Amino acid sequence: MGLCEKAEGLFTQTHSLFLYGQSTKMKIKTFQEALTYLSQQLPMFQKKGPAALKAGLRNIDELDELLGHPHKQYPCIHIAGTNGKGSVAHMLAAILQAAGLKVGLYTSPHYRDFRERIKVNGELAKEQFVIDFINRLQEEVRSIQPSFFELSVAMAFQYFAEEKVAVAIIETGLGGRTDSTNIITPILSIITNISYDHQSVLGDTLEEIAGHKAGIIKEGVPVVIGETQEETEPVFLKEAEEQGAPITFADQIWQVKEEEAEAGKTMYQVFHHQNLWTDHLLTELSGPYQARNLQTVLQSVSALNQSEQLPVKIILPHIQEGLEHLRDLTCFIGRWQVVQEHPLVIMDSAHNIGGMTYAVEQLDKIPHRQLHYVLGMVKDKDIHKILDILPATARYYFAKADIPRGLDAQALADQATGYGLKGEVFSSVVAAYETALKQAGTEDLVFVGGSIYVVAEVV
């Protein structure tokens, strides 16, 4: 079994309950007890949505102080953005690993196992570390009352310090300026792109959302922006000027064009300032947005090569090896993941209008007889823009992810009907997926999406 296959069991599964709110400290002995503590004791965005967020950086600052500022023991790369930040983080990790470095990788949320958030060279954090970390900080957690995300960030920083990583790649959760990860001073900041998502927290305009993401730009630290957008470019330029941070826009320097694609892999031509840089770049990537993410990665590599804090120089063979073996190197799952062929089954965690637009465009390009769409969403999202772009010719299998934030399947189906989308309602994501597989012919296409939590139940 591969590392990803060993990451079993959704974090949302019910475990035996413990009264962690009581005044006496209870020693946690097993990993399942640790998971129960995390899910029951701490406000969790997966369950509560924006209500789980803690304003400001006070809690993470207190945790960081208690731990002795572990993130200062290694150089960090900080990544924000609406879409693509997870893919960019995994690509960079794979390339740096191929260059011989020990790489810490913090991403969120997770699909199967909480420890997917905290990896070193593709290996999930050790179960015993999670147990020991919680036991060590139980009394402080009761006093500070951090969110689930705040505690997981602190846990990642500590794990990377204990593992003595050469570099850590840190993905923001939501936003950037007040995100718990934003206590770091990185050697490089990266912002992939800006789209509409989490408007209730980040704002209703692209400029407002960009203002939150721009908060990861630090004084004198180079920043790479993945995509030039009319509404957001001035926001980033202004922040970079105020911080004295050298800024580049990846899509103004790199152009990546798809040469050939097959299930789970894509070959690209790469141009640097319109001149051919390399062709036949084979990647273990697929999906309509990965060309843009790759542009961001390539400019990030170029920026990293200028840093004195990175102990190696990254060359083309490192890039080639990292991207060709991306999934094995980093345990990369859930992003345009091809599960099988005949029928072709693809799962993707796109969940906002930007990501879903790319997904719909790509699905239209894939030859198929009938599209079967397993769809579930969360109830605190504005789903109408997404429903409006989904193909009316698809056969839908509406389901609710097994989390409190999941949108009721019947309610989703009722709203989808208003957009000409027709299908069946199911009691679970698994039931919807299994029915779609049974009903699909060998030349059909089955797609699972709408929420990372939907994908997590069947990936």
Between CA 98 and CA 389 the distance in angstroms is 39
pLDDT at 23: 43
Q: What is the CATH number of domain 3-330?
A: 3.40.1190.10
One pLDDT digit (tens) per residue for the chain, 459 residues: 444 544 433 333 333 333 334 445 678 999 999 998 888 777 554 444 444 445 679 999 999 999 999 999 999 999 999 888 999 999 999 999 999 999 999 998 888 899 999 999 999 999 999 999 999 999 999 899 898 899 999 999 999 999 999 999 999 987 789 999 999 999 999 999 988 654 445 656 898 889 989 999 999 999 999 999 999 999 999 999 999 999 999 999 999 999 988 767 899 999 999 999 999 999 998 776 899 999 999 999 999 999 999 989 999 999 999 999 999 999 998 888 888 999 999 998 887 787 888 889 889 888 999 999 999 998 877 789 899 999 999 999 999 988 888 999 999 999 999 999 999 999 999 999 999 999 999 999 999 999 888 998 998
Report whether 391 contacts 371 (CB < 8 A): yes
Closest CA to 214 of 172, 251, 254: 172
Phi, psi of 266 (to 5 degrees): -140, 140
Using CB atoms within 10 A of its CB, is residue 244 exposed (0-12), middle (13-18) or buried (19+)? exposed
For residues 98 and 269, give the distance between their C-alpha atoms in angstroms, rounded to a whole number.
21
Whether the domain at 3-330 and the domain at 337-456 fall into the same CATH topology:
no
At position 413, the amino acid (one-letter code) is A
Beta bridge partners of 169: 77, 105
Instruction: For 337-456, give the CATH class.
Output: alpha beta
CA angle 426, 432, 434 (to 5 degrees): 140
- Bin 447: left if φ > 0, else alpha if -120 < ψ < 50, else beta: beta
| Per-residue CA distances from 342 to 81, 224, 285, 369, 396 (Å) | 35, 40, 20, 11, 19
What pLDDT is attached to residue 203?
Answer: 53
Q: Where are the domains of the chain?
A: 3-330, 337-456
Amino acid letter, 94 = A
- 281 and 298 Cβ atoms separated by less than 8 Å: no
Alpha carbon 320 to its chain centroid, in Å, reads 22
pLDDT of residue 40: 78
pLDDT number for residue 55: 60
pLDDT of residue 312: 94
Amino acid in the structure at residue 435: T
- With CA atoms as reference, report the closest residue to 213 among 241, 182, 244: 182
